[in-house]
Structure 1
C-alpha cells in the first residue's frame, strides 16, 4: 500500500510474507509506514509526514470485557474502526499530530481493562457475542469515568460512533459461527465482514475466515465439486 496515493499493488518480487506479517520485508520498507512508530529509533520522511497530520484518540468496543484505545488519522474518518471490527466506538478528541495523540493513547492504555491491541484470532471469538448497544455505551462511558478519575483527563468533544450497521450482520446469530482459520479454501456466500473477519453462509452454516491470511495470494475459482474440511465434518464445495 502506498500511503501517499492510497493505492495498493502486488509485490514486485512476488515474495511470500511471513505468517505474522501482511507484507514482505522489501514491501514494508517501500511502504515506509510503521504503526508502532513510537517504538522506533527513527522514522522515514513519509512516516513523519503522516505523523504531522491531525490524529484522533478513540475507545473501541468489541464485546463484553474487550475494549481498546487507539489513534487514527482524522482524514480517514471511521475507516480505522471498521478495519478493526469495532462494534461501537467513542471518539475522544482530535489532536494536531500523531505524537500528541499517542501520548494520550499511552496514558489510557496504562489503565487495567483497556487494551492497545486485539489479535485477529481473539476477534473470531468476540464476534460470537451479540451487540447490546446500551450495554456497550455504558461500558465505554464507565471507561471514560475511570480515565477522568485516575488520569485527570476530560474529553468534552467526545462522540459515539456506531459501526455495527456497516458490517451487515442483519441480526444473524453468530454464536455458532465456525472458525475456519488455517483453511486455504473460502467457501459459501459472503454475508458479512467484521474487520478482518469474513463470514460466509455455506449450506446453512456460518463460516468465519481471517481475510488477512489470504492477502498476497492468487485466488483461483474452482469449477466443480471439491471437499473442504469443516471441523468434524466433510462437506462438498460446488
Structure 2
C-alpha cells in the first residue's frame, strides 16, 4: 500500500482494499511527538487505538487509499510531520507523559496546519477536509495516570517472563511483577515474530525503587 500510489501496481486483493474510503489523521503521543497517518474506513477507530495515540484528529477523508497516501506524502513534505514513530519511543514516552491539555494543544495546532495546507488548493481531487476528533478509550487513563512507572528492562526476545497486566494503551501494557509494587511498562510489539511457551513463569524483579514523589 505504501508504494501503490506511485507505482500503480497492486494485486487484486489490495486494489479492493484501496477502493474504500480512507481517512487522514494527525496523532499525538504521550511525549508530544506527532505524526500523520492513514486508516481505512473499516478501521478508522481501531487504527489509532493500535497505534497508541493519546490525542488524534481526522483531517481529511479520501475517496480511496491511493489518494490518501498522496495526501500523506504532501503533508510530510510541506508540514514536516513524520509518517512513523518507533513503538519503543511510544512506550518510553508513557513513563513521563505530558499533561493532557498540552498534548491536545499540540495536536490541534498540527491538525490546523494540515487542514490549512489541504484547503490551499492542492492539484488533487477526490478528498474533503474534515474536522473530527478521535475518542481514546477511557481505560487508557489507568496507564497515563499511574505514578512511579518504570520501563520493563528485560528483553522479551528470550528468557522467562511473568507479570500481571493491569491496563493497556495501544501496544504498551502496564504490568506488575510478583514480589514488587513498582509498575512497569512493557512494549508488547516486541513479541512480534517470537514463539511463546505458556507456563507458570515469573519475571525477575528488577533492581529499581518506586518514585518518592
**Common topology (TM > 0.5):** yes
Q: For residue 196 of structure 1, report the CA deviation from its aligned partner.
A: 1.5
Distance 1:170 1:145, change over 3 A: closer
What's 2:29 paired with? 62
Deviation digits for residues 74-113 of structure 1, max 9, x if unmatched? Answer: 1113100010100110011221101111111111112455
Select 2:90's aligned residue among 99, 103, 123: 123
1:176 aligns with 2:143: no
Answer 1 or 2: which has greater helix percent. 2
* Contact 2:5 2:67 (C-alpha < 8 Å) held by counterparts: no
What's 2:191 paired with? 214
What's 1:228 paired with? 204
Give the match's secondary structure for 1:147.
Answer: helix
Select 1:48's aligned residue among 15, 18, 25: 15
Distance 1:111 1:192, change over 3 A: farther
* Contact 2:4 2:66 (C-alpha < 8 Å) held by counterparts: no
Q: For residue 47 of structure 1, report the CA deviation from its aligned partner.
A: 1.1
Distance 1:50 1:149, change over 3 A: closer
What's 1:196 paired with? 171
Distance 1:35 1:130, change over 3 A: same
Distance 1:108 1:120, change over 3 A: same
Once residues 120 and 30 of structure 2 are traced to their aligned partners in structure 1, the CA distance between those partners, rounded to angstroms, is 25
* Length-normalised TM-score, structure 2: 0.77
Once residues 65 and 49 of structure 1 are traced to their aligned partners in structure 2, the CA distance between those partners, rounded to angstroms, is 35
Q: For residue 52 of structure 1, report the CA deviation from its aligned partner.
A: 0.9
Once residues 35 and 180 of structure 1 are traced to their aligned partners in structure 2, the CA distance between those partners, rounded to angstroms, is 33
Select 1:187's aligned residue among 145, 162, 169: 162
Which stretch of the first structure deviates more once superposed, 194-203 or 153-162?
153-162
* Contact 1:124 1:179 (C-alpha < 8 Å) held by counterparts: no
* Contact 2:59 2:131 (C-alpha < 8 Å) held by counterparts: yes
What's 1:96 paired with? 63
* Superposed CA RMSD: 2.8
Distance 1:145 1:219, change over 3 A: same
* Contact 2:173 2:188 (C-alpha < 8 Å) held by counterparts: yes
Distance 1:177 1:89, change over 3 A: same
- Paired positions, count: 197
* Length-normalised TM-score, structure 1: 0.70
